[in-house]
């Protein structure tokens, strides 16, 4: 114990060293990368190679760590013994639910309840890991994911020292109706980790058992929803869209009963758990529940905490801090939804409890990327009225922000309340400006032209009429030359543009587009195509791709999960494996029959 205390003291001192020393460590790491990139095969690579599996053992990594538990190769931890995960900050900042028993109930005057995860009864299997999340965000060497200790941790079977698992109380407007208390019905916040860059991350298990907020649920998640969340949260990250991250995916043999389409057809499905990582899991509904319950002082404490932790540019002593906070959330939310629209992503359930207060994408449920362009695209079969269709996401964003404004009203004086209304009136312009900026980049346009909005709207209308593929239309415009467009020479490889060219007005749009490109200053066609390829992905997580991976996973075949994970890390680069799998081809006919619901 004495030795451990000494080691912990050393770690604290390391974290307090100045930025210059951190930069030096970074330079050493970059040098290592450059050396390894020359082609030398490391012992770690040999140990990871299935053909050399006999080389691998936990002894290898233990013998190559220093006395602080870091790998000597890449300065990542190869042991979780000294890895510091803590719940102290959250517990000290807010009153905990005083009831310790875990049963469904209405909770008051609390932000969190302390609840232990419920591990699966059957054996679990680690299906997938995000190396980037594990190593770059959590400072753990990816080799640690092979250990029993790690698998127990990410499946809820082991709680680390310093962690007090918490479940969060929040409310929300669902499909336009206030439904009162919701909360983490199947998620456990394991604690906070501050990495070597000083970035704060909250780790949360999803699918880890019942909580006081489970209502009629069983606290579990199933394979199909968990595979989709793991893949899509990572995919959006590599598309450059703010999102929570997924560190790991665990699958069990426990039976979880689900009526997938709410038609009475209950089936047994495999349970699964995703370890999710975000800078914060607070959402609009976190504030709403306190405002609706009249817990004004707790509301003030929560917003002050959020501002202090996550909005460093806001003066925490200013009387206008809550107004400044709202203004920033309005801007960030408008930008997030514009980014969703730029890649054809529909969240599926844009309730206020699913909107992050930090304006990152969270709570992946019945989401979907559009195949052919359709502003009425509804990914969620449970959304009978189409409230959350892709073309209405911006409007729903404004609705949700208005509910956030109402939740903040108890903290604002009458003048500030009027100013908050004025701030919200600026939302449409913020959204439209960002959306046009993104779509101009997708078309390779420089500068400003009064007709740019018309050019973009014209193209989208042609795509709607012809049911042209959204992703591949923009991507193929990035790959085809201006000369080919001028000559109307569109070969089979440009199948989405061929669909678009069926419309009689296509050639007119092409002329407008080429004329606009000619007004780009100091530009070449090659530069234009290179630039556009970096703005238009070739690969997205289409529903049929996720479904194919899910069906294999349910048969204990995880190959397509791994393939998609690899492909979606580089969505803008043409990849042989992806082409062979048909990920940039026309969606197969059976994809039209796919349905996704809120059931998970």
Question: In this structure, are residues 537 and 211 in contact, taking their beta carbons and an 8 Å threshold?
Answer: no
Q: Checking DSSP bridges between strand 166-168 and strand 245-258, what pairing results, if any?
A: unpaired
Six token digits for residue 140: 């753990």
As a whole number of angstroms, the distance between CA 396 and CA 472 comes to: 27
3-state secondary structure of 356: strand
φ/ψ bin of 484: left (φ > 0), alpha (ψ from -120 to 50), beta (otherwise): alpha
Q: What is the DSSP letter of 126?
A: E
| φ, ψ (nearest 5 deg) of residue 275 | -85, 110
Query: Angle CA(20)–CA(26)–CA(29) in degrees, nearest 5?
Result: 150
Task: Determine the Cα–Cα distance for residues 346 and 343; give it in Å rounded to an integer.
Answer: 9
Contact 141, 77 (CB under 8 A): yes
CB 163 within 8 A of CB 87: yes
Q: Are 541 and 486 in contact (CB under 8 A)?
A: no
Q: Which residues are catalytic?
A: 353
Dihedral (CA of 332, 334, 337, 338) sign: negative
Least Cα distance to 202 among 103, 126, 306 occurs for 306
CA atoms of 473 and 486, how far apart (whole Å): 17
Residue 210 to residue 217: CA distance in whole angstroms: 7
**What is the C-alpha to C-alpha distance for residues 181 and 183, in angstroms, rounded to an integer?**
6
Contact between residue 245 and residue 231 where contact means Cβ atoms under 8 Å apart: no
């Amino acid at each position: 114990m004495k030795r451990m205390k000494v080691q912990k003291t050393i770690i604290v001192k390391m974290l307090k060293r100045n930025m210059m020393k951190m930069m030096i460590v970074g330079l050493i790491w970059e040098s290592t990368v450059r050396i390894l990139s020359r082609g030398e095969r490391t012992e770690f690579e040999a140990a990871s190679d299935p053909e050399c599996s006999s080389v691998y053992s936990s002894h290898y990594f233990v013998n190559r760590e220093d006395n602080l538990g870091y790998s000597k190769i890449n300065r990542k931890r190869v042991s979780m013994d000294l890895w510091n995960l803590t719940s102290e900050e959250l517990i000290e900042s807010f009153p905990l639910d005083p009831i310790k028993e875990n049963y469904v109930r209405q909770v008051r005057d609390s932000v969190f309840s302390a609840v232990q995860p419920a591990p699966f009864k059957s054996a679990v299997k680690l299906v997938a890991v995000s190396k980037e999340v594990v190593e770059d965000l959590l400072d753990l060497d990816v080799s640690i994911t092979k250990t029993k200790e790690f698998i127990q941790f990410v499946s809820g079977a082991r709680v680390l020292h310093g962690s007090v698992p918490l479940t969060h109380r929040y409310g929300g407007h669902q499909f336009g109706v206030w439904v009162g208390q919701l909360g983490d019905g199947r998620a456990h916040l394991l604690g906070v980790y501050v990495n070597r860059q000083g970035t704060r991350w909250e780790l949360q298990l999803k699918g880890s058992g019942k909580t006081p907020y489970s209502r009629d649920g069983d606290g579990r998640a199933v394979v199909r929803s968990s595979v989709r969340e793991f893949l899509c949260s990572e995919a959006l990250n590599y598309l450059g869209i703010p999102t929570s991250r997924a560190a790991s995916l665990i699958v069990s043999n426990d039976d979880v009963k689900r009526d997938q389409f709410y038609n009475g057809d209950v089936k047994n499905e495999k349970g699964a758990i995703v370890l999710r990582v975000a800078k914060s899991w607070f959402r609009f509904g976190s504030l709403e529940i306190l405002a609706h319950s009249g817990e004004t002082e707790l509301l003030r404490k929560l917003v002050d905490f959020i501002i202090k932790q996550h909005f460093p540019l806001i003066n925490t002593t200013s009387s206008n801090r809550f107004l400044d906070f709202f203004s920033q959330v309005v801007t960030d939310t408008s930008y997030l939804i514009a980014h969703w629209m730029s890649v054809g992503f529909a969240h599926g359930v844009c309730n206020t409890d699913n909107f992050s207060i930090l304006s990152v994408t969270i709570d992946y449920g019945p989401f979907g990327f559009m195949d052919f362009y359709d502003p009425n695209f509804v990914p969620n079969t449970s959304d009978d009225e189409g409230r959350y269709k892709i073309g209405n996401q911006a409007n729903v964003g404004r609705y949700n922000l208005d509910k956030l404004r109402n939740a903040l009203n108890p903290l604002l004086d009458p003048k500030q309340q009027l100013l908050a209304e004025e701030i919200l009136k600026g939302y449409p312009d913020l959204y439209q400006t960002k959306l046009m900026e993104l779509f101009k980049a997708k078309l390779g346009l420089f500068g400003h032209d009064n007709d740019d909005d018309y050019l973009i709207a014209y193209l989208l209308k042609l795509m709607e009429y012809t049911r042209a593929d959204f992703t591949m239309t923009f991507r193929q415009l990035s790959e085809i030359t201006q000369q080919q467009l001028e000559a109307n020479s569109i070969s089979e490889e440009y199948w989405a543009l061929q669909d678009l060219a069926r419309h009689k007005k296509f050639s007119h749009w092409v002329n407008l587009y080429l004329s606009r490109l000619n007004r780009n200053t100091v530009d070449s066609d090659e530069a234009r195509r290179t630039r556009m390829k970096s703005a238009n992905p070739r690969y997205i997580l289409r529903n049929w791709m996720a479904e194919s991976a899910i069906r294999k996973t349910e048969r204990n075949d995880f190959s397509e999960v791994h393939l998609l994970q690899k492909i979606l890390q580089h969505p803008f680069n043409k990849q042989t494996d992806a082409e062979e799998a048909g990920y940039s081809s026309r969606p197969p006919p059976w994809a039209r029959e796919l349905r996704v619901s809120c059931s998970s």
